[in-house]
């Protein structure tokens, strides 16, 4: 069975990207901001939502697990089922589903309805990320493809800087329901921006389902996906339950500022890493995984020390601010011959890691406490580092074009 997927149009090297083209990239970045804000909004609100809806903290963590499961399923399925449908309309449809999901969460009378809304969010999320990374080069001239991709990924970082802390701030003076309602308003703005600014993106080439099996048949690609799963699992098994850990030592307002600092330093980490990643990909990945290990260790060793936990959160922000970019570039270089299939698999692996990490973490939090959960995260991060070492020692994948034409296509 074959389906059509987008391809990057050929453009003249000397032709500049127009203002309208850049505005279309900004519109997709706004949607990325809205999606990530909605996805991780419960992280800072977990205790309040759990209390109001009458569930334990671990069970409330299903608000992060459920979207992850749904996104992992929808990422490969949507690229198959979309067929020849104009990608612009797919973007609009997925963002509309996100809007409905947030409204449903805001008015949820019980936890079952809340999970229904979160499931809808996940279904839209997987498809959005698969198409967003593939569409980025099509929105601009060829020489600006890397900048377009980086701009869309900046929406993720900005959501961490502004979106999630803003939700916690709103809840501090009102309620978590208003935080979801405000996020729905943000999604509505993104939907309008897409409708006005994103051009037609017709499907132009065919992708075979056998291409997914081809990628999975490569040992280097399997190891790369495993590395991504372990590191993202380490992050989300712990970050999902950061509020229960910090609430013992910080007020809700102070926690909001700490989450803001986490996101803000991550924003600058992302920007700085983007300047060196083309020439030093393996070193960039290794550095960020080591910083994640240092951050989780600090949270364990300096527990109940406000200064120690603040330092740990800032180190964590530096690491996670750059890791999505690092892994995105890694997978793109590892799957240059099958970029859409690689993108779908990458999104699925991340969402499985989010779902599994938050679910297992929730079980551990309920049965053994947050401290034990952070030990799990530390172990997963160590395994991720070991996998990176194996990848570094293995044969490099075939050379191919990297994100921009000027840099080497090898992983380092």
pLDDT, tens only, 184-230: 999 999 999 999 999 988 865 556 677 788 888 899 999 999 999 99
- Asked if the structure places residue 378 within a domain, the reply is yes
Partnered with residue 5 across adjacent β-strands are 205
- The answer to whether residues 366 and 66 touch, using CB atoms and an 8 Å cutoff, is no
pLDDT on residue 400: 39
Q: What's residue 373's pLDDT?
A: 92
CB of 341 within 8 A of CB of 207? Answer: yes
Q: Are 308 and 246 in contact (CB under 8 A)?
A: no
Q: What are 75's two structure tokens?
A: 């990422």
**H/E element holding 306?**
helix 306-334
11 belongs to a structural domain: no
State the Cα–Cα distance between residues 90 and 285, nearest whole angstrom.
Answer: 32
Q: Is 315 helix (H, G, I), strand (E, B) or coil?
A: helix
Could you read off the pLDDT of 306-364 as tens digits, one per residue? 899 999 999 999 999 889 888 988 987 888 787 777 888 888 898 888 888 888 998 89
Task: Give, in degrees to the nearest 5, the angle at Cα 25 between 23 and 29.
Answer: 115
412 lies in some domain: no
Domain assignment of residue 253, yes or no: yes
**For every one of its 412 residues, what pLDDT tens digit does the chain have, with 9 covering 90 and above?**
333 334 444 444 557 888 899 999 999 999 999 998 898 888 778 888 999 999 988 888 889 888 888 888 887 787 777 666 788 898 999 999 999 999 999 999 999 999 999 999 999 988 888 888 777 778 888 777 767 777 887 787 777 677 777 888 888 888 899 999 999 999 999 999 999 999 988 865 556 677 788 888 899 999 999 999 999 999 989 988 888 888 888 887 888 888 888 888 988 888 888 888 878 889 999 999 999 999 999 988 887 788 999 999 999 999 998 898 889 889 878 887 877 778 888 888 988 888 888 889 988 988 988 889 999 999 999 999 999 999 988 755 444 334 443 334 445 5
Beta bridge partners of 3: 207
Residue 7 counted as domain residue:
no
> What CATH code is carried by the domain that includes residue 283?
1.20.1250.20
Q: What tokens were used for 35? A: 């999606």
157 assigned to some structural domain: yes
Q: What is the total count of domains within the chain?
A: 1
What are the phi and psi torsion angles at 205 (to 5°)?
A: -145, 165
Within 10 Å of residue 386's Cβ, how many Cβ atoms? 12
Tally helices (H) and strands (E) across the chain: 17, 2
The answer to the question of residue 368 being in a domain is yes
Model pLDDT, residue 191? 95
Which own/partner pairs from 337-340 qualify as long-range (CB within 8 Å, at least 24 positions apart)?
337/398, 337/400, 338/207, 338/211, 338/214, 338/215, 339/134, 340/5, 340/6, 340/79, 340/130, 340/134, 340/207
For residue 314, the enclosing domain spans: 20-201+209-393
Give buried/exposed letters for 297-316 (b at 16+ CB in 10 A, else e). Answer: ebbbeebeeeebbbbbbbbb
In a domain, 107, yes or no: yes
Q: What is the pLDDT of residue 406?
A: 37
pTM of the full predicted structure? 0.75
Name the nearest CA neighbour of 411 among 293, 326, 341, 320.
326
């Amino acid at each position: 069975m074959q389906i059509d997927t987008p391809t990057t149009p050929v453009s003249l090297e000397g032709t500049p990207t127009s203002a309208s083209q850049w505005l279309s990239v900004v519109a997709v970045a706004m949607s990325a901001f809205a999606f990530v804000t909605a996805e991780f909004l419960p992280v800072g609100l977990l205790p309040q939502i759990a209390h109001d809806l009458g569930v334990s903290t671990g069970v409330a963590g299903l608000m992060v697990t459920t979207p992850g499961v749904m996104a992992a399923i929808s990422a490969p399925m949507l690229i198959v089922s979309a067929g020849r449908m104009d990608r612009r309309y797919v973007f609009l449809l997925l963002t509309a589903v996100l809007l409905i999901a947030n409204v449903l969460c805001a008015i949820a009378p019980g936890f079952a309805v809340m999970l229904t809304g979160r499931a809808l969010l996940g279904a839209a999320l997987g498809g959005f990320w698969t198409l967003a990374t593939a569409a980025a080069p099509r929105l601009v001239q060829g020489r600006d493809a890397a900048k377009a991709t980086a701009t869309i990924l900046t929406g993720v970082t900005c959501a961490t800087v502004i979106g999630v802390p803003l939700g916690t701030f709103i809840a501090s003076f009102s309620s978590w329901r208003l935080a979801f309602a405000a996020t729905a308003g943000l999604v509505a703005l993104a939907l309008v921006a897409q409708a006005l600014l994103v051009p037609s993106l017709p499907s132009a080439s065919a992708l075979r389902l056998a291409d997914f099996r081809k990628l999975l048949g490569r040992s280097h690609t399997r190891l790369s996906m495993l590395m991504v799963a372990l590191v993202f699992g380490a992050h989300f098994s712990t970050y999902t339950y950061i509020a229960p850990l910090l609430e013992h030592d910080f007020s809700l307002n102070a926690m909001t500022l700490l989450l803001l600092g986490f996101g803000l330093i991550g924003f600058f980490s992302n920007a700085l890493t983007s300047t060196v990643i083309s020439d030093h990909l393996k070193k960039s990945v290794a550095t960020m995984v080591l910083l994640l290990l240092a951050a989780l260790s600090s949270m364990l060793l300096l527990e109940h020390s406000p200064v120690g936990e603040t330092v740990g959160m800032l180190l964590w922000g530096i690491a996670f601010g750059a890791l999505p970019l690092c892994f995105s570039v890694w997978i793109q270089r590892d799957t240059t011959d099958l970029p859409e299939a690689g993108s779908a698999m990458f999104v699925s692996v991340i969402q499985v890691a989010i779902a599994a990490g938050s679910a297992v973490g929730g079980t551990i939090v309920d049965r053994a406490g947050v401290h034990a959960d952070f030990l799990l995260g530390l172990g997963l991060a160590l395994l991720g580092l070991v996998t990176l070492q194996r990848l570094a020692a293995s044969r490099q994948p075939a050379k191919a074009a990297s994100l921009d034409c000027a840099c080497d296509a090898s992983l380092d």
